[in-house]
Structure 1
Amino acid sequence: MPAPNSITPKQLMRLIGTPQAPVLIDICLDADFEADPYLIPGSMRYPAKDIKRIADKVGSRAVVIICQKGKKLSQGVVSWLRSEGCDAEYLEGGMFGWRDLPAAPRIPASAVPRGEDGRSIWVTRHRPKIDRIACPWLIRRFVDPDAQFLFVAPPEVKATADVFGATPFDIEDTFWSHRQDRCTFDTMLDEFQLHTPTLERLATVVRAADTNRHDIAPEAAGLLAISVGLSRQYRDDHENLAAGLHLYDALYRWARDGFDEGHDWPTDRKS
């Protein structure tokens, strides 16, 4: 019988990428992690005995604790957190169980740029519309929930990156940018190894809208229209980003669960 404070890999898979995803804390021992240096999307690493920092990080949010096998380490930390009033669960089977789940993505830890405080900092051109909203959404939902994004004038992107230790994206002559006929969102899927069917479907729409090739995805025209509208509605880029995250949350659920659904009126129309 499953423990009352556990979650299966399949259940967790349905939550990752959505606003309902719990905080994910990886407490694998360093030796185990070095032998298999991959992260479940959105997870952060903490030492198992650093209970106070984990509890402070989690606050009132739900959290899933991940160790290598889902045994003593994660179960012990979960019990301790629950004694402190935290809504904590452990991942059944741990990283081994996740690894055995068909099509479960894992991010190479080396691909994630980390700042001094452990979170990633990114900088790009101001007035974002498509790629520069889609990429922050991907990072926040699948890579680093605490990522910081800076929007500055185009000539200032690289200098700002140098000053603040940020990673520039979606500008020419940088690593995180367009490659051939694919956009920065595609580059991030490549580097973070996030090629799930859902994200591939979403990436096609983003690419079509961002490179003005609406023939490859009919949804692109709508994404472009809404993205332009948001950029006009919000003068502040961070307010635009906050609204855009909701937009891509909805697109993700369409790409995962509703892409084959149509709509017609009247409902009794005969074919």
Structure 2
Amino acid sequence: MAAPNEITCSQLNRLIGTPECLVIVDVSIDPDFEADPFLIPGAFRHPHTDLSGLGARLEGRPCVIVCQKGIKLSQGTAALLRADGIAAEYLEGGNYGWRSDASRPRIPAAAIPGAIEGRTLWVTRHRPKIDRIACPWLIRRFVDARAAFLFVSPGEVIGVAERFGAQPFDVEDVFWSHRGEACTFDTMLDEFGLRTEALDRLATVVRAADTNRNADVAEAAGLLAISVGLSRQYRDDLEQLEAGMILYDALFRWARDGQGEGHDWPGGRA
């Protein structure tokens, strides 16, 4: 019989990438993690010995605790958090269970930039349209939920990156940018190991809309139109990003399990 505070890998996989996803905390000990340095998408590492620090970091948010096998470390940590009033679950099978299915993505820890004050920091050109909204969505939903994004003048992106230790993206001649015919969103999928069926499907739309190949994918023209509309609606780039998060949340659900659905009028027409 499953424990009341246990979550399966399949259940967690359905939550990852959505706004409803729990905070994922990896409490694996260093030797185990060093032997297999990958993270479940969205997870961050925290020592199981620092429960007060973890509680402060969670800020009361519900979480799922992960260790290598889903036994003593994760179950004990989850139980202690629950005793302190935090809704905590542990992942059945832990990292071993997660990696038993090759279709579930795993992020190489080395690909994640170092945190600055507990979060990754990114910088790009102001007045975003497509890639510069799609990439922040991907990072916040799959890599670092607390990631911060700076939008600055095009000519100042590199200088701001150097001065503040931020990662420049979607500008020329930087690591996180277009490669050949692929866009920055593609680059991040590759580097973070996030090539899933749903994200690949979403990437085809982002790529076509971002590189003026709207005829290649039926949905691309719609994404371009909405993205331009959002850029005209919001003067503040960060407000536009928050609105764009909702847009890409919806596109992800379409790409994951809704792309086969059509619509007609009157309702119920075969």
Scaled by the length of structure 2, what TM-score is found?
Answer: 0.98
CA distance in structure 2 between the partners assigned to 1:53 and 1:269 by the alignment: 57
Match runs of 1:1-271 below 5 Å: 1-267=1-267, 269=269
Q: CA deviation at 1:269?
A: 4.7
In the aligned structure 2, how far is the partner of 1:44 from the partner of 1:269?
48
Q: Which amino acid aligns with 1:259?
A: Q
List per-residue Cα deviations over 1:73-128 (Å, max 9, x = no partner).
01110110000000000000000000013401000000000134342100000000
Amino acid at match of 2:110: S
- Equivalent pairs, count: 270
Q: Could you say if the C-alpha distance between residues 259 and 50 of structure 1 is closer, same or farther in structure 2, counting changes exceeding 3 Å?
A: same
Counterpart-to-counterpart distance in 2, 1:194 and 1:217: 21
2:131 and 2:177 mapped to 1: Cα distance? 10
> How far apart are residue 67 of structure 1 and its match?
0.4
**For 1:44 and 1:153, how far apart are their aligned partners in 2?**
31
CA displacement at 1:34 relative to structure 2: 0.4
Give the Cα–Cα distance (whole angstroms) in 2 for the partners of residues 251 and 187 of structure 1.
19
Deviations 1:107-155 (A, max 9, x none): 0000000134342100000000100000000000000001010000000
Name the CA distance, whole Å, in 1 between partners of 2:268 and 2:149: 48
Give the aligned CA root-mean-square deviation in angstroms: 1.0
- Give the Å deviation of 1:268: 5.5
Which runs of structure 1 show a deviation greater than 2 angstroms over 4 or more consecutive aligned residues?
115-118, 266-270
Q: Tell me the SS of whatever aligns to 1:21.
A: coil
Give a deviation string over 1:204-247, Cα, whole Å, max 9, x none. 00001000111221101110000000001100000000000000
Give unmatched runs, 5+ long, in structure 1.
Answer: none
Distance (Å, rounded) in 2 between the aligned partners of 1:179 and 1:107: 20
Q: Measure, in 2, the Cα distance between the counterparts of 1:31 and 1:268.
A: 58
Contact 1:10 1:101 in 2 (8 A): no
* TM value normalised by structure 1: 0.98
Measure the CA separation in 2 of the matches of 1:30 and 1:173. 35
Question: Post-superposition shift, 1:267?
Answer: 3.2
Structure 2 letter corresponding to 1:91? L
